[in-house]
Amino acid sequence: MISSLNARAMLLSAVILVVLLGLWELGNRPPEATQADSEYAALMGGADDLARVPNPSEIAIEAAAQLSDPFYDAGPNDKGIGLQLLYSLGRVLSGYALAVAVAVPLGFVIGMSPLMYKALDPFIQVLKPISPLAWMPLALFIIKDSILSSIFVIFICSVWPILINTAFGVAGVRRDWLNVARTLELSRLRTAFTVILPAAAPTILTGMRISIGIAWLVIVAAEMLVGGTGIGYYVWNEWNNLDLTSVVFSILMIGVIGMLLDLSLSALTRAVTYAD
């Protein structure tokens, strides 16, 4: 039944996609150019296509060209989209790994200690709502390196969902299981690894899944600010080059990579989730 539902859902998704692309292709024909439009196009070097969003067929041609050699490096402002995505993924995963290394242990401490929860909660509530990009000027001033500053911003935006979900998951472990651990005279460290961690793992991974999505969102904006390399810089650079086809293609690639990151953590969450 589930496989049948999945098959029907995939078929419906394919139909919706084809219909939307068809409507986009047919409804996005170039308008007839007026004299003023022609003069403006001549001034802009003949860029008539600036008046409309590219068609799916044009984006498909651009995608084929870009993906035929995605890792080329022809200089600071001319790198393949695959290389730009790798730069962004490297920064995201670096900041994300730091956030996991800090947030999971600290979340355990908060979840297991009501005193620590009450002591640290005001700090969390003040720092959590701050936009990650608001930290960028301060990070650039202190760290004086755009790449490390981007990693720091990813760390800041990733740490809160993991920290909060870890504390919530640890605090929500069934008391019966903890009582059994006490009956068996397990140490606090062994109880944490053999009882609390497996029980709280689905909640922790849910926080990690939320964090990776936020981190991938933030890196694009951060790279637009600091420039240099990365998919965010690539999008902004293509816009400055007045290449809307490349802009739309890179937006789609951002979405695909974000979906793959989410699916990987979703699968990991299902793997550690136990039925009652």
Spell out the domains of the chain, with CATH numbers in brackets.
Answer: 69-271 (1.10.3720.10)
The rounded distance, in Å, linking the Cα atoms of 259 and 137 is 30
pLDDT of residue 49: 46
**Angle value at C-alpha 103, between 151 and 108, nearest 5 degrees:** 170
Residues listed for the chain? 276
Phi-psi region of 29 (alpha: psi -120 to 50; beta: other; left: phi over 0): beta
CA-closest candidate to residue 28, choices 61, 59, 55: 55
Phi and psi (nearest 5°) for 173?
Answer: -65, 140
pLDDT of residue 216: 94
Q: Given pLDDT bands bounded at 50, 70 and 90, which one contains residue 27?
A: confident
Q: Are 265 and 213 spatial neighbours (Cβ–Cβ below 8 Å)? A: no
pLDDT of residue 32: 57
pLDDT of residue 275: 57
Give the pLDDT mean for 6-13.
87
For residue 260, pLDDT beyond 60: yes
- For residue 163, count other CB atoms closer than 10 A to its CB: 26
Chain center to CA of 143: 23
Give the pLDDT mean for 251-266.
93
Token pair 């809160």: residue = 160
- For residue 4, count other CB atoms closer than 10 A to its CB: 8
| Listed range (1-5, 65-69, 118-122) with the worst mean pLDDT | 1-5
Tokens of 69: 């050699």
pLDDT in tens, 125-151: 999 999 988 999 999 999 988 899 999
CA-closest candidate to residue 179, choices 199, 202, 193, 195: 195
The DSSP element (H or E) to which 118 belongs, if any, is helix 114-127
For residue 223, pLDDT beyond 80: yes
pLDDT of residue 36: 53
Phi and psi (nearest 5°) for 174?
Answer: -60, 135
pLDDT of residue 199: 87
Give the pLDDT mean for 94-110.
94
pLDDT of residue 37: 52
For residue 44, pLDDT beyond 80: no
Give the three-state DSSP class for 230. Answer: coil
DSSP 76: T
Runs of H (alpha helix) within 129-243:
136-143, 146-171, 175-183, 188-191, 197-226, 231-240
For residue 38, pLDDT beyond 60: no
pLDDT of residue 248: 92
Phi-psi region of 45 (alpha: psi -120 to 50; beta: other; left: phi over 0): left
CA-closest candidate to residue 27, choices 49, 60, 52: 52
Give the pLDDT mean for 227-236.
88
Exposed, middle or buried by CB within 10 Å (0-12, 13-18, 19+), for 1?
exposed
| pTM assigned to the model | 0.84
The rounded distance, in Å, linking the Cα atoms of 258 and 249 is 14
Q: Are 218 and 132 spatial neighbours (Cβ–Cβ below 8 Å)? A: yes
For residue 46, pLDDT beyond 60: no
For residue 96, pLDDT beyond 70: yes
pLDDT of residue 181: 79
For residue 180, pLDDT beyond 60: yes
